Amino acid sequence: MSEKLCVDTLMSELKNIYENKPETWDLTAALIKESLRYHAQHNEQYASYLDNARETVEEGELANIPLVPSTLFKNPAAKVLSGPQSEIQQYSRSSGTQGAVSLVPRDETSILRFIGGMSASMPALLGVDRMGNHVGIVLGKDADSAENLWFSYALACITIEIETEFMETKDGFDIDKTLDTIGKLKASGRDLIIVGPPFRALDLAEAYAERVGKALGGKDFIITAGGWKGEKSKAIDNKTFRRVVCKSFGLKSDKQIRDCYNMVECNTAFFECEHHEKHIPPWVYAYSVDPVNQNKKTDGEGVICLLDASANSYPCFIKTDDVGIINHEQCSCGRHGPTIRITRRINKVESRGCALKMAVGKNTDNANRFHQSIYRTPASHPLLKGAGSDNE
């Protein structure tokens, strides 16, 4: 892939990917368009999909690039693979909490870039030195035990470049082992990065306050990811969560508590800064659209769309099922680039609106586009054509 050097250079060589360097942010459009050309050349079905919208794409606006609905990855007949099947390292799968399971083909390049993106974001947003004093404590499985479950795999990768211990085995999450590990590491003078879903971090915090009670240090971090999947009864709002966890661990500030947003269909994770804003790196272009008319929004809530140049084995131009806000104003933390805030999941009425307007050509008012939508008639979607043969 010809943009490989640029994407990989951004991830590995820039000291801070959120610095105000015009040449860095000017690369975004070029990287996305080069990624588009690559997938048009290596994915026959996406190329056909693209041809129907060629005129609008060539107008230059990134928002004109045809999107792949995240729903499509739930259909095993979908042809989303760019390149040979033999290069796929894993079919990353979602947890299936919404019903059907998504399957996303990832080759070595895509996986290494996912990891590289996190490795670039951690120092830039947390100030954590890869060779420093921090130790990771993951409240989940190690990557080898994740069995392609993307949430577990992604969680394990957050602290992949530092010494890390994992607190879940085949018998489940071991809270006693976790408390003991925290005690031993703090006694030896180490700083901690505790990573896990919010419900598990909350359980650990409450147990820590009750059974240990000793305040953690000012350089310790709690990173959450994945939301309250499967534990909706425990869900609390973000501010309350940070207040409870901060008090229970004796943290000096809730700036030591950060959240991360990712979905199996996207090849980049978005981390919070100390002001709890999730920053978008320069190899991703994000925008939102009105759920009814699909017009690009300049402010307020909309359905989130993500164009990610880091994916090599599939076109990562995703229309998500999430509603949120893309903010292009400079963050209070002083870092540059847009931020993303997820507010909720799309509802059924909005989903039907998306279906009515799912773009497969220039004329967005054409009524037959409704019947070409994956939401309404999956078999008619361009990426499902020719599904009877293998993509080699």
pLDDT mean over 275-294: 94
Whether 324 and 342 have beta carbons less than 8 Å apart is answered as: yes
Domain annotation covers residue 391 = no
Longest CA–CA span in the chain (Å) reads 67
Instruction: Give residue 390's pLDDT.
Output: 38
Report d(CA 350, CA 245) in Å as an integer: 34
Tell me the residue length of the chain. 392
User: Considering the entire predicted model, what is its pTM?
Assistant: 0.86
86-120 confidence digits (pLDDT tens): 999 999 999 876 678 999 999 999 999 999 999 88
Q: pLDDT confidence of 58, banded at 50, 70, 90?
A: low
Instruction: Give residue 384's pLDDT.
Output: 47
Domain annotation covers residue 232 = yes
Instruction: Give residue 131's pLDDT.
Output: 73
Domain that holds residue 206: 4-384
Instruction: Give residue 56's pLDDT.
Output: 58
Is residue 374 over pLDDT 60? Answer: no
Instruction: Give residue 359's pLDDT.
Output: 41
Domain annotation covers residue 344 = yes
Domain annotation covers residue 308 = yes
166-202 confidence digits (pLDDT tens): 999 888 999 999 999 999 999 999 999 999 999 999 9
Domain annotation covers residue 392 = no
Q: How many Cα atoms occupy the beta-carbon half-sphere of 191 within 13 Å?
A: 19
263: domain CATH number is 3.40.50.12780
Domain annotation covers residue 10 = yes
pLDDT mean over 235-251: 96
Structural domains counted in the chain: 1
Question: Considering only 74-88, 142-156, 163-177, 353-367, which range has the smallest mean pLDDT?
Answer: 353-367
Report d(CA 389, CA 132) in Å as an integer: 50
Q: pLDDT confidence of 55, banded at 50, 70, 90?
A: low
Domain annotation covers residue 356 = yes
pLDDT mean over 47-67: 76
Instruction: Give residue 348's pLDDT.
Output: 54
Average pLDDT, rounded, for the chain: 84
Q: Between the CA of residue 66 and those of 146, 269, 317, 379, what are the distances in Å?
A: 32, 22, 7, 18
What SS3 state is found at 224? strand
Instruction: Give residue 375's pLDDT.
Output: 34
Domain annotation covers residue 390 = no
